[in-house]
Amino acid sequence: MKYKDINAGKKSGPRLASDDVRPPLYPAPQLRHLSDGRSEMLDRHGYVMRPQTSFLMYLRQYYAFETFRDYASKLLDYERVLACDSGGVGLDFRLLSDAYLDKTHTEYIELRGVKLSTFKSMLSLNFRFWKFAQAEGYTEGLVGTNGGGQTFRINVPPEGFSKHPVMRGRVITMLPTMPSHRDIELVVAAGMRLKSSKVLKRRFKLAVQVLKSQAFRRSEGLRLDVSMIPTRKELSRLRQQAKAGKKSWLVPITVERSKRGGSRVSQFPIDLLDELRDFIDVDRPKLLKPSVPCDAVFVSTKTGKRLSNQAFTNEFKCAAHRAAATNPRDFGEISLAAIRPHHCRHRGATDITRGLLMEGIDPTMAMLMAMELVGLRRIDTMSRYLHLAEAEQQEASASYRAAGEKANERTGLDLVRLRKELNGEAA
């Protein structure tokens, strides 16, 4: 089924003859963000680039706003590279080839010093755009697997684009840096000290608590609406039913994913919902502006609208740096200044996995259950949290501590014996 062309009738398509002599409006392609949340990509003469804009509208249907903006920037970056080809003459994406992709690899990795993981992410998104443009009839014979009498300008291996020669090179994936609960508490305490208002202190503390307890991404936590949180009367009824054993102490709430679209169900403890309801009823009204409608739980004091991802990240960074300045670290400990909001998701995912393991659930089943709770779709990503959870569980066990004490004692005895032998030889 063809995707509806939302730009039909707009100024686009073939340029006029005068465009060749008229100076361009922009030095490179631009993104134009519209008031309704849509975005258009314009070429240097101000014309709408119809294939790219249609693809952006397609992405907007399935991704959260911040993720969509990130993808739009990646698409724009490569279009600007094409626009600078041949000394500024430019190259249309329909004329791409395997040889040009190899040239792109050199441009990004060797000349611009872009990380391999960043380059692969950018090119994977553009490959999706090329497939979309070909499926929608904007181009023909661009991407595909050669064979059966067909030849494509970009020959995609049968295993997929990830095996294309331009995607060569191995990205070494490190285990996520894991701050302890105390590390995050130090950041929260520092952030509260930076706030003069009790309302802002509570907002910061609650936002971090939501991210950590639910293993939310930053945008998922800040996207909570007042309508999602049960009223005081509903919470009182849920608490009574939980005490009577008729209901769980966890309340399912559907939240919108910030990646790959869709939604997922997150289990909120009743105690956390009580705190959120108290904040909504008592503190949140002090942040609202009379003329600005807003249904968000976490509201910005400046705009009266939903607290933006970047604003919260800036608050968190300031708190992390203040915590680092007042709490010296031992060798091997994570620097408090390096902690970011996404570390709360790492911490929460590990805690959820560890909790399932402590209940005696098989590690494989625990990983699959945690994937559903955390909202992850890749097993290799979830396996990192499983390893961290198993390591923390092992370190917390009595047998592990006893083995460590024996090892320390044995090491001490070996050092004493070695010192005596050295002293004997020296004598």
250 shares a domain with 203: yes
194 shares a domain with 78: no
Domain hosting residue 225, numbered range: 181-395
C-beta contacts of 283-292 below 8 A and 24+ residues apart? 283/198, 283/199, 283/202, 283/203, 284/226, 286/199, 287/199, 287/203
Per-residue pLDDT, 105: 87
211 shares a domain with 297: yes
Per-residue pLDDT, 394: 60
228 shares a domain with 159: no
Structural domain includes residue 220: yes
148 shares a domain with 192: no
Q: Is the pLDDT of residue 106 over 70?
A: yes
349 shares a domain with 248: yes
Tens of pLDDT, residue by residue over 229-254, are 999 999 999 999 999 998 889 999 99
Q: Among 197-201, 351-355, 391-395, 411-415, where is mean pLDDT lowest?
A: 411-415
* Reported confidence tier of residue 258, pLDDT bands at 50, 70, 90: confident
192 shares a domain with 106: no
Per-residue pLDDT, 414: 55
Tens of pLDDT, residue by residue over 4-53, are 444 444 444 455 454 555 678 888 899 998 887 789 999 988 899 999 99
Q: Which of 342, 370, 343 is nearest to 356 (CA)?
A: 370
Rounded distance, CA 379 to CA 365, Å?
12
Per-residue pLDDT, 318: 95
Residue where the block lists tokens 């009823």: 281
201 shares a domain with 57: no
Q: Is the pLDDT of residue 350 over 90?
A: no
Structural domain includes residue 53: yes
145 shares a domain with 279: no
Q: Which of 54, 53, 72 is nearest to 64 (CA)?
A: 72
Rounded distance, CA 235 to CA 182, Å?
30
Other beta carbons less than 10 A from residue 167's beta carbon: 19
Structural domain includes residue 357: yes
Structural domain includes residue 90: yes
Per-residue pLDDT, 361: 84
* Reported confidence tier of residue 391, pLDDT bands at 50, 70, 90: low
* Reported confidence tier of residue 172, pLDDT bands at 50, 70, 90: low
The domain boundary residue, chosen from 167, 199, 226? 167
Q: Is the pLDDT of residue 66 over 80?
A: no
CATH number of residue 305's parent domain? 1.10.443.10
Structural domain includes residue 427: no
β-strands 143-144, 154-155: how paired? parallel
Structural domain includes residue 406: no
The domain boundary residue, chosen from 167, 199, 232? 167
Rounded distance, CA 365 to CA 227, Å?
33
For 64-114, the DSSP string reads -HHHHHHHHHHHHHHHHHHHTHHHHT---GGG--HHHHHHHHIIIIIIS--
Average pLDDT over residues 384-397: 64
223 shares a domain with 304: yes
187 shares a domain with 222: yes
CA 43 to each of CA 25, 107, 390: distance values in angstroms, whole numbers, following the listed order: 9, 22, 52
C-beta contacts of 235-244 below 8 A and 24+ residues apart? 235/270, 235/273, 235/274, 235/277, 238/270, 239/270, 242/270
Rounded distance, CA 213 to CA 224, Å?
14
For the CA atoms of 199, 201, 205, 207, the dihedral, rounded to the nearest 10 degrees, stands at: 50
Written as six digits, the tokens of 82 are 């094409």
Structural domain includes residue 119: yes
Q: Is the pLDDT of residue 416 over 90?
A: no
Q: Is the pLDDT of residue 419 over 70?
A: no
For the CA atoms of 122, 124, 125, 130, the dihedral, rounded to the nearest 10 degrees, stands at: 120
364 shares a domain with 239: yes
Rounded distance, CA 389 to CA 127, Å?
36
Q: Which of 204, 220, 184, 219 is nearest to 339 (CA)?
A: 184
Q: Which of 212, 208, 178 is nearest to 335 (CA)?
A: 178
Where is mean pLDDT largest: 156-170, 184-198, 342-356?
A: 184-198
Count of domains observed in the chain: 2
Structural domain includes residue 235: yes
Q: Is the pLDDT of residue 290 over 70?
A: yes
Specify the pTM. 0.65
Q: Is the pLDDT of residue 415 over 60?
A: no
